Amino acid sequence: MRTPALDLPVRLLEVRVRTGAVAILDGITMMLEAGAPTVLVGPNGAGKTTLLRVAMGLIRPTSGLITWGGREICPPTRRAIMFQRPAMLRRSAAGNIRYALAAAGVPRAKRDARIAQLIADVGLKGLEHRPARRLSGGEQQRLALARALARDPDLLFLDEPTASLDPAATNAIEDIVRNVTARGVKVVMSTHDLGQANRLAGEIVLLHRGRLIESGPAAEFFASPRTEQTRKFIAGELLV
């Protein structure tokens, strides 16, 4: 087990993100604590990606407060994020990971072994030398996960990590989430797959139109939703 993450807990207090007159996040108060993954759910445009970017430290709230381990300024050296539509460098799959390892300050002599391990972890063996931009969508998503893991983060943000993956690849990613969680990494992820949320989450957070509708342990969230909106969302009905 690694030493406790310095970035945790992440506290958000009345966080607002506005563009013009539109509130993309509207008064979000929540805490990301060590332990099982926190899973963000909600309809398209709910604010999941924006919340992940705020928690990573890529977007500053328009108002409200965010702290990492009690600090308002905390460089993202032990945090990593995998974007919804990852951009690949014009290099091989291995080259993309090598770049991430170099950026994370991993010594040159250790990079080859780490690349081999990360390629194996995400199930891309045999594709190391393929140009990353020629990989399929699902393969690129797995490569993006390998790049995020290259930083050996304490806190890992995954934005819809299995959105374009087939069932076998989805299982593989879910196993990786379980494995890194067992190693003490805090995973915060978004998904539209409620089965996946149920399988992976410690806590589930439902967002809708930039607001936090309900959060709680996965079992309670599904078995006894406290709000009508959560009940509708679980039932697959449209939220208004």
| The entry of ligand ATP, Mg ion, none that residue 44 binds, CB within 5 to 8 Å by partner kind | ligand ATP
Cα distance between residue 16 and residue 121, in whole Å: 37
List interacting residues with ligand ATP (CB under 6 A). Answer: 19, 24, 42, 44-50, 84
Say which residues have a Cβ less than 8 Å from residue 236's Cβ, sequence separation at least 6: none
Give least dist CB 59 to ligand ATP, A: 8
Inter-CA distances, 150 with 94, 132, 156, Å:
11, 16, 11
Complex with Mg ion: residue 5 or 54, whichever CB lies closer: 54
Structure token digits, residue 160: 């819809």
Give least dist CB 187 to ligand ATP, A: 17
Complex with ligand ATP: residue 24 or 213, whichever CB lies closer: 24
| The entry of Mg ion, ligand ATP, none that residue 47 binds, CB within 5 to 8 Å by partner kind | ligand ATP
| The entry of Mg ion, ligand ATP, none that residue 50 binds, CB within 5 to 8 Å by partner kind | ligand ATP
Full 3-state SS string of 112-167 = HHHHHHHHHHCCCCCCCCCEHHHCCHHHHHHHHHHHHHHCCCCEEEEECCCCCCCH
Complex with ligand ATP: residue 37 or 47, whichever CB lies closer: 47
Complex with ligand ATP: residue 10 or 46, whichever CB lies closer: 46
Q: Is 50 a residue that touches Mg ion (CB under 5 A)? A: no
Q: Is 49 a residue that touches Mg ion (CB under 5 A)? A: yes
Strands (E), the chain: 10-19, 22-32, 38-41, 63-68, 79-82, 155-159, 186-190, 203-208, 211-217
Region from 49-57, 98-106, 181-189, 206-214 binding Mg ion, contact rule CB under 5 A: 49-57
Summarize as ranges the residues that interact with Mg ion (CB under 5 A).
Answer: 48-49
